[in-house]
Structure 1
C-alpha cells in the first residue's frame, strides 16, 4: 500500500475517490469545496435529506459534473463537539468499507478535518493508517473461494502539516502486526497448533536479521522441572513448546523488555471439560501468543533501538487417559506446589512456569498477555483490557500506551486480601479460587511467580475477540507496540 500526503488544495486531487466530511454544526474545507463546485446538487441533497450529518452515514456521489474527482463519498460525522477518538475510528472504518465497494484504487482523505480534539495530526495519520489497513483485512485461508483483494493501492492524506512519514510508517507497521495476530487467531486449531506457531516464529526470524528464535521442547521442560506447564500439555498428542523470539535492536547488555503470550491453540477444558456450545471459540485461547508475534512483527518492521524478547507458552489442553485430573498436585519450576482444582484453569499453569523461566533474562519489564478468564468479560465487557501489575508505574505506562494508541486498558487490583481464595490444604496453593473476583484471583496466582521483576498481566479474554462473526481483533498489539516504542531512549 502506497501512503502519501499533500497540502490542502482540492484542485490538485489526483485520486479517484475523495472523502468529504460533513458535520452537523460546521462546514469542513472538503464539504465547502463540494458546495462551491456543485452548489445546486449539494443544496438539493441537503433539502431532500438524502445527505445527512449523522455519524457513519454515507452519501456517494458518482458521475456528477464539477466534482473534485470521479467518485466522492460524503461521510456524516455528527456534531463537531462530540467527535472523539471512537467517532474518528468509526468514520475511518466506514470509509474503508465504502472504498471496498467502490473498487477505488486511490483515496484522498482530508485528515485535518476529522482530527479529534487534543490529538495531533501525527496521531491522526498514524491511527487512520492503522484503521484503514486493518479494515481491509479479510480472512479466507480455509475457504475454497478466496476473497477478492482490495483494489485500493494508494492512500493520500490532505494535511496542513508536513513530515508525516514516521506516522504513516508506524501506523502501517502496527496494522501489519495486528493483521498477523488476527490471521493466526482465526486459523483453526488443526492448522494453528504449537508446531505451527514455532514455524511462524522461525519465519519471522528468517525475514529480519534482528530476530533470533529458540524453541524449547517438552524434554527440556521436564529437565527444568516445569510440572505445571506439562500438566496441561500431557493430555494432548501434540507436544507443548516454549518459543523464545529475541529482537536485538538495542545495545548489547541492555536489559530487554519481555512479552509472554498464552498460546493454548485449543482448550477443551481437559477433564473439567467445557460445554459443547461455543467450544469452537476455544481456538482463540492462543490470542496472547498471537499478539506477541504481531507485536514482534511490528517492532521488527519499525526497528527501534530496544531489546525485546517475546516468549510464547503454547500447548493444547485436551482430554485423554493421560490428562491431568482435578485434585492432582504438581510441582512448578520455582519449587512451589499447586493443587489443580479445575483443569480448565490451564492458562495460569503454562504461564506460571514460563514466568519463572524468563527470570534468566534479567528483564527491564515483563508483560504477559492472556485470554485468561471469563470473569474479566463480565467485569469490563469487550472494550477495555484488564491491566494488573506488581509495579504501579508499569501499570500506568501500559494504560498510558493504551490511551495513546486507543487500544485501551483499565487498572485492576492485586490486593493480598484475595490470596485466601487460593489456599489449599494439600499444596502451597490451588489453581482457582471462588467465582467472585475470578480474574483477580487468576492474576494473584500469576503474581506468585513474578516477585523478582517488574511485571504486568493483561487479561484480554474480553478484547482479543468480540464474536465468531468478527473474529480475532488483534488487540492488544497496538498497546504493546506503543508501550515498547515509549521505552526507547
Structure 2
C-alpha cells in the first residue's frame, strides 16, 4: 500500500470513488477528477447509487484509448458524514475489493474536514481496514495445492491524499498495516481447530513471535504453576491430556524504566464446559474461547512491528476444559494463588478461574495498568450482542481511555457497572467466594469476581464473548479487540515523534 498526493494521477486498473448523496465528490477525488476534465464528477451524478452508506456500484469510463473501471461507494449525506460513516464506507470497499482480481487500485480519501478527524487518523484507518479486508485463513489441514489455488496476490493499492505526503502520514500507513497484521495473527490462532491449537501450540506460537521480534518468552509448565499455588487455574485443565501453561511474553521497548502495561488473555483452547457439559448446538464455536489470548498475541505483534517505545507484557493462561475422571466437580473448593478460596458451583464458569491466578501473577511486574481480555460470559452477549464488547474497570481514567479508543477505531466497548452491591451474589458458605453469581447480571458478577484479584493495580476487563467471532456463513474470528488495544497502546507511545520511531 502506497501513499501519494491526489494531484499525481494514477494509472490503476480500478478507481474507488466516494460519492456523497448529492452526487458531489470529496476534495481529493476532485483533484483526481480535474485531470479528466470533470468526467468522473459527471459520471457520479448520473449514477443511480443508493444513498445508504456503504452501497457500491461498479461502472466503466473511457480515458483516452483506455476503458477503466470505477467503483462508486456511497458516503451518505455530506452533513452527516463522520468517522463512523467513514469506517462503514471503508468496510464496504474492503469487501468489494477482496473479491476482485484487480491488480492496481487508486483510492482518493474523503475530506477529513467533513469528519472532524485528522489526516493521519483517516490514513491509518484506511490502511488498517483495507489490509484486513484481504485476510484469508489458510487452513493448515487443507492440501497445499488447494490453498495455493485459492490464494491471490494482494494488489497494489494507492491511497490518494489532498496534501503533501508527510512522515506522519507515512507512519499512519505503517501503523494501520501493523494493526491489520496483528488482527491477522489473532484470526489465524482463533480459526485453528482445537486439535491443533492447544496450550502447547500457543506456547510454541509465543516462542516463534518472540524469536521473530527479539523479545523473551517464558512458559510456566504445570509443575511451575503448582509451585506458585495456581490451584484455581490448574483445576480447569485437570482432566485434559493437554497440560496447562502460563505464557509470558516480555516486550521492553522503553529506554526508561517505565512500569509495564500488562495484557492478560484468556486462553481456553477448547471449552466443553467440563462436568457442567455445554449443549451440543454450536459446540464447535468453543474453539474461539481462546480469542482473548489470541488478541494479546496480535497486540504484541503490532507493538513489536512498530518498535513502540513501551514496556508491554502479555500473559496468557492456556488450558483446555474437558470432562473426565479427574475433572473438577461442582461443589469443589480450590485455593487461588492469592490465597483466596473459591467454591466451584459450575465448571463452565472456568475462564475466571484461570484469569484470577494470572492476574495475581501479574502483580510481580508492578504494572502501570492491567487489561484482561476474555470471551468470558454468554450474559455479555445477551446484554450487548455482537456489536460491542463489555468494559469493566476499577479506574475511571483507564475506562475512559479504552472507551475513547474503541470509539475512534469502530471497535467499540461499552462500560458496565462494577458496584459493590453485585458482590453479594458471589457469597459462599464454604469458601471466600463462589465462581458463579447466578443468572441475574452474569457478566457483571463475573467481572466482580475478577475485581477481587485486582486490588493492587489499575485494571480493566474486556468481555469479548460477543465480538471475538461470528457464526453462520461468515464464521470465523473477527480480530477484535486488536484495533481497540492498538489504539490504546499507540496513544501511550505518543510521547515520541513519528520520525523517531
TM more than 0.5: yes
Q: Which residue, out of 206, 212, 218, partners 2:211?
A: 206
Which residue matches 1:184? 189
Which residue matches 1:317? 321
1:7 maps to 2:8: no
Q: Deviations over 1:87-122 (max 9, x none)?
A: 322322332333344311221111134775111121
Please say if residues 61 and 67 of structure 2, whose CA atoms lie closer than 8 Å, have aligned partners that are also in contact: no
Give the structure-2-normalised TM-score: 0.91
Give the structure-1-normalised TM-score: 0.93
1:167 maps to 2:172: yes
Please say if residues 385 and 460 of structure 1, whose CA atoms lie closer than 8 Å, have aligned partners that are also in contact: yes
Please say if residues 19 and 109 of structure 1, whose CA atoms lie closer than 8 Å, have aligned partners that are also in contact: yes
Cα RMSD, aligned residues only: 2.2
Q: How much has 1:315 moved relative to structure 2?
A: 0.3
Q: Report the Cα distance in structure 1 between the residues aligned to 2:3 and 2:40, rounded to whole angstroms.
A: 29
Q: CA 1:44/1:457 → structure 2, altered by over 3 Å: closer, same or farther?
A: closer
Which residue matches 1:143? 142
Please say if residues 216 and 249 of structure 2, whose CA atoms lie closer than 8 Å, have aligned partners that are also in contact: yes
Q: Report the Cα distance in structure 2 between the residues aligned to 1:441 and 1:88, rounded to whole angstroms.
A: 36
Which residue matches 2:411? 407
Q: Report the Cα distance in structure 2 between the residues aligned to 1:40 and 1:300, rounded to whole angstroms.
A: 45
Q: How much has 1:467 moved relative to structure 2?
A: 2.0
Q: Report the Cα distance in structure 2 between the residues aligned to 1:395 and 1:45, rounded to whole angstroms.
A: 43
Aligned positions of 1:18-417 closer than 5 A: 18-28=15-25, 29=27, 30=29, 37=36, 50-62=48-60, 64-66=62-64, 70-113=68-111, 117-141=115-139, 142-144=141-143, 145-146=146-147, 148-161=150-163, 162-163=165-166, 164-209=169-214, 211-251=215-255, 253-417=257-421
Q: Which moved more, 1:67-76 or 1:90-99?
A: 67-76
Q: Report the Cα distance in structure 2 between the residues aligned to 1:50 and 1:89, rounded to whole angstroms.
A: 22
Q: Which moved more, 1:49-58 or 1:476-485?
A: 49-58
Q: How much has 1:56 moved relative to structure 2?
A: 2.5
Please say if residues 238 and 316 of structure 1, whose CA atoms lie closer than 8 Å, have aligned partners that are also in contact: yes
Q: Deviations over 1:373-424 (max 9, x none)?
A: 0111111111221111111111111112222322211111111101110000
Q: Report the Cα distance in structure 1 between the residues aligned to 2:233 and 2:113, rounded to whole angstroms.
A: 47
Please say if residues 99 and 152 of structure 1, whose CA atoms lie closer than 8 Å, have aligned partners that are also in contact: no
Please say if residues 351 and 376 of structure 2, whose CA atoms lie closer than 8 Å, have aligned partners that are also in contact: yes
Q: Report the Cα distance in structure 2 between the residues aligned to 1:267 and 1:402, rounded to whole angstroms.
A: 28
Please say if residues 470 and 476 of structure 2, whose CA atoms lie closer than 8 Å, have aligned partners that are also in contact: yes
Q: CA 1:101/1:355 → structure 2, altered by over 3 Å: closer, same or farther?
A: closer
Unmatched runs of 5 consecutive residues or more in structure 2: 496-501
Please say if residues 227 and 330 of structure 1, whose CA atoms lie closer than 8 Å, have aligned partners that are also in contact: yes
Q: CA 1:40/1:155 → structure 2, altered by over 3 Å: closer, same or farther?
A: closer
Q: CA 1:358/1:51 → structure 2, altered by over 3 Å: closer, same or farther?
A: closer
Q: Report the Cα distance in structure 1 between the residues aligned to 2:241 and 2:335, rounded to whole angstroms.
A: 22
Q: How much has 1:78 moved relative to structure 2?
A: 2.0
Q: CA 1:19/1:41 → structure 2, altered by over 3 Å: closer, same or farther?
A: closer
Q: How much has 1:77 moved relative to structure 2?
A: 2.1
Please say if residues 19 and 44 of structure 2, whose CA atoms lie closer than 8 Å, have aligned partners that are also in contact: no
Please say if residues 219 and 248 of structure 2, whose CA atoms lie closer than 8 Å, have aligned partners that are also in contact: yes
What secondary structure sits across from 1:64 in the alignment? strand
Please say if residues 24 and 45 of structure 2, whose CA atoms lie closer than 8 Å, have aligned partners that are also in contact: no
Q: Which moved more, 1:192-201 or 1:93-102?
A: 93-102
Please say if residues 33 and 39 of structure 2, whose CA atoms lie closer than 8 Å, have aligned partners that are also in contact: no
Unmatched runs of 5 consecutive residues or more in structure 1: none
What secondary structure sits across from 2:150 in the alignment? coil
Please say if residues 387 and 410 of structure 1, whose CA atoms lie closer than 8 Å, have aligned partners that are also in contact: yes
Q: How much has 1:4 moved relative to structure 2?
A: 1.9
Q: Report the Cα distance in structure 2 between the residues aligned to 1:41 and 1:108, rounded to whole angstroms.
A: 14
Q: CA 1:294/1:115 → structure 2, altered by over 3 Å: closer, same or farther?
A: farther
Aligned length: 484
